[in-house]
Each structure stands twice: as C-alpha cells, then as structure tokens.
Structure 1
Amino acid sequence: MADQFLAEQHTWTLFQHSQSDEQDSWVMLTRDGEIVPIPGEKILHTSRPRVGLEIWTPRELQIAEPFSLKCDNGIAYITNERVIYLPARPSEDFKSFFTPVLNFSDTHVHSSWIGPWSWGGTVRPVPGGGIPMHIPRIEVKFVFRDGGHSDFQTKFEWLKERLHHARELGLNPGQNLEPPPPYEAGAQPPPSSGASGSAQAGAQTPEEAPQPAPNEPPPDYLTAQAQAVAMRYEERMREEAEGN
C-alpha cells in the first residue's frame, strides 16, 4: 500500500509541472443551464432527475487534507468524452463535477434493501473537474433515487469498451462512437422458407461443385438384395411343387 501511495504522489508531482488546458476542463453552461460541449463532444445519455452524488477520499491514502462532497439532487450525463454531474442547485462550493470516461476504474452497482440503487467507482481527478488536485484518486458514487441505474451502467460500459478499442487502434477516442442505427422497415428481409425458397435452395448454383458418386452401396443394400433373391427362390420352388 505504501508503494502505491508513493507512486500516486509521484504522478501528482509530475502533473504539477505539466501544462494543461484549463479552458477545456470546466463544464461550461449556457444561460439556460445546458452543457456547452467541448470540441467534438456529444451527449449520449442523460439520467433521470434526482440523482445524488457522493465523493470521498479513500481511507487508505491517509492524506493530510481529505476531501468529501455530497449532493442529493442533480442529473448525470454521459458524453463521448466525459461523465458529467450537474447539481440541481449549484453553489459557490460545488457547481459541477466531471471526469473522462477512461479515468473511471473498478466500477460497480450497489443495491440496497431499503434505499435506491447506486453506481460508482474509483476516479483519477483532472483539472477543473471539481476535485482538489492534491488528491490522486477518489471514490465516486451516483445514487439513482428515481431509477435508471441499469441504463446508465449499460451505456457507460459500452462506451468505455469502445474507447479502449479505439485507443488500441490508435484512433481518436472521441470519434465514431455512435451506436448503430435502428432497424428500418424498408430493409430487405431474409429469404423466405416457402416453396420459392425451397426451389431456390434446390437449384444448383454455378459455383457449386457436382456431388461425387458414392464408392460403396448404401447401408443395408446387400441385406435387402439377399432377402429379395431368397423370396424369388422360395416362390419358384412353390410354383414347381404345385405343378407336380
């Protein structure tokens, strides 16, 4: 655990000396409260209202300035770039939270016998995401008070898989991540299994090679032949006996 903490502190030290674009980090909103997307960003999923957010520093970090946050009411979004949370009533202390999709790890769903379902995981904070940058990682939980956790999880896992695949191929992760178009009624149906289908199946196409002739008789062929010969012999013997 100590080695992991030192590695995370080293990562934070490197990040302090790196350059970042703060302008593209904040969740910018219009006057109507709509999300202003960063270049190339599209909203893929919007949760139902009354989603809660809980954030806290893992105990094992044992840092001097831990962080925790709780909001009871808001909306969560999934875009092709980020997971975003906007509180229903933003304040000076908390206006928004976001993190890149691939910064999530160990995501899971948690059920409760008396309370709503929740979904969350471990997150590496980014500049402007709403988390102090002296914290190398945090625990994040979305509480779905009006349901919808399953749809949220399904969309997130689908997107994360596509992003990982795009990264492996060296593609721009934010592009070409739309789901396939729905089935259209005008699409050509598969061949029917009626008489016409049977006739087509029976016709031999030019590419098909002719079936070779069998090299041996079919099963029970010799037995049937022997029985036929025996029957003809018995019939002939009976006719000769009646003639005498």
Structure 2
Amino acid sequence: MADQFLAEQHTWTLFRNSQSDEADSWVMLTRDGEIVPIPGEKILHTSRPRVSLEVTTPRELQIADPFSIKCDNGIAYITNERVIFLPARPSEDFKSFFTPALNFTDTHVHSSWIGPWSWGGTVRPVPGGGIPMHIPRVDVKFVFRDGGHSDFQAKFEWLKERLHHAQELGLVPGQNLEPPPPYQVDRPSPTSTSDTQPSTQGQQRQEPQQEQQQQQEAQQPQPAPDEPPPDYVQAQTQAINIRYEERAREEAERG
C-alpha cells in the first residue's frame, strides 16, 4: 500500500510540474517570461526572432467546427522533451504552444518563391493543452522570417532520433540522450602480497555481515504516510479528465 501511495505521489509531482495555471497553455513561465522547465528538461535550441506559428485542422478530417491558431511573431524552442512556441506579445486568446517532440509526425521543410522558409508537420494534441478533444490531430507550421529553419530542422531530427533510440533501450525519453562513458577496468595497485593479504581476509569476513544487515533493512516494511500529498484529490480529478480526453481523441480518430 505504501508503494502504491508513493507511486501516485510521484505521478502527481510530475503532473503538477508539467501544468500551467492557464486553461489554454501547458507552458509554465516565470514573471519575466522565461520557460519553467519540467523535471530533467534542458533547452537544446532557440530560434531567431520573428517566427510565426500556424495551427490548423487537417482538411481530410472534415470537422464541422475546425480549430485554428495563428501568431505572426514569436520564438520557437526545442528542448530534450518538447517543441515550444512563445509569442512576442501574449494575448488572452493565445499565450503559448507546446507539444512533446515524439508527437510530431511527417515533418518537412517547405519553401516558396517569394516568401520565407517554413517547417512543420502533423501533431497529436496533448490532453488539456487547449485544443478541443474531438480533434485527433492538427497541422502545425513554423515560418522562419529571419532564417534559421535548417538549424531548427537539424536539431529536431537529432533529438527525435535519440528519443526513439532511448525508447528502444527502455530508457526514460529526453533524459538519456548521450551515450554512457566507456567502461574502464579498475586495475589493482602494484603492492606486495604480504601487505594486502591481511586486509583482504578482514574484508572477506566483514562483507557477509554487511550484506545480511542490508537485506534485513530492505525487508522491513516502510510505514505509509499519514496523509496524502497537497491537492491530492484535485490531482486525481485532473488525471481522470485527461484519461477521458485521451479516449475521446482515440474515438474521434477511429471515427
């Protein structure tokens, strides 16, 4: 019971740190407008200014009430977890946009004869992220008016490749992007046999006692906390709402 409670408390901690107080935004910001990272998050790339964002409902979905967002000026970020867009001048209707990197599919670069380059793809919306739950996917496009689209694309492809590799290895996505350091065999120092033999025998006599004591401590049950973490009931309610929204999106996709 204690393990289940601690697991739920850990889930709620991650959930709380990934939320915003705004109903239409999941990107938490400081008072100075800086991104508040979720646990383990690092910014890998920041675009040049004057990037515009367009979020639209794909035409093939044929939804009666389509959804769209457009912002003409902002900055795009790539972290080891997400793709984020912050407008230069937030409004009541639009304060920010983000999506997990692996929610992007069919990404591509597009150029026009007279306009700037753009980059984008299809995105599966995040539950609670401000996009109506009856819309299973949206088209997202970033337009780079001052250039920099190639650097943005290269960093995104680099990140996506490593995230997929981390998933294949069963690692935590976003937090194990670099390979571990090479293994080195520890070699014993060149000391005489007569100097090391007494200490080695003493260590051999102590190791079984230490292992037995550690096993006894590990087997002792840990007492469960007397009370739930702060806002526990609210967290459970929000988690249920998110699961409901995920099911609704799956049904909309199948329909």
1:104 to 2:104 alignment: yes
TM-score, reference length from structure 1: 0.63
Matches within 5 A, 1:1-244: 21=15, 24-25=18-19, 26-177=26-177
How many Å apart are 1:127 and its aligned residue?
Answer: 2.5
Native 8 Å contact 1:47 1:75 kept in 2: yes
Q: Residues of 2 paired with 1:29 and 1:70: CA distance?
A: 20
Identical amino acids, percent of aligned pairs: 88
Q: Residues of 2 paired with 1:62 and 1:22: CA distance?
A: 35
- Based on CA coordinates, which of the two structures has the bigger radius of gyration? 1
> 2:55 is matched by which residue type in structure 1?
I
SS in 2 for 1:29: coil
Native 8 Å contact 1:126 1:133 kept in 2: no
TM superposition outliers: structure 1 runs of 4+ over 3 Å:
19-23
User: 5+ unaligned residues in a row in structure 1: which ranges?
Assistant: 1-18, 181-244
- How big is the alpha-carbon RMSD for the aligned residues of Structure 1 and Structure 2? 2.0
SS in 1 for 2:146: coil
Q: Residues of 2 paired with 1:50 and 1:30: CA distance?
A: 22
> 2:117 is matched by which residue type in structure 1?
W
Per-residue CA distance 1:113-160 (angstroms, 9 max, x = gap): 100000000000003434222210000000000000000000000000
Native 8 Å contact 1:22 1:128 kept in 2: no
User: 5+ unaligned residues in a row in structure 2: which ranges?
Assistant: 1-11, 20-25, 181-255
Native 8 Å contact 2:77 2:84 kept in 1: yes
SS in 2 for 1:158: helix
Q: Is 109-118 or 130-139 further displaced after alignment?
A: 130-139
Q: Residues of 2 paired with 1:172 and 1:52: CA distance?
A: 31
TM-score, reference length from structure 2: 0.60
Per-residue CA distance 1:25-83 (angstroms, 9 max, x = gap): 41000011000000000000000000000110001111232101111000000000000
Per-residue CA distance 1:143-183 (angstroms, 9 max, x = gap): 00000000000000000000000001100112132599xxx
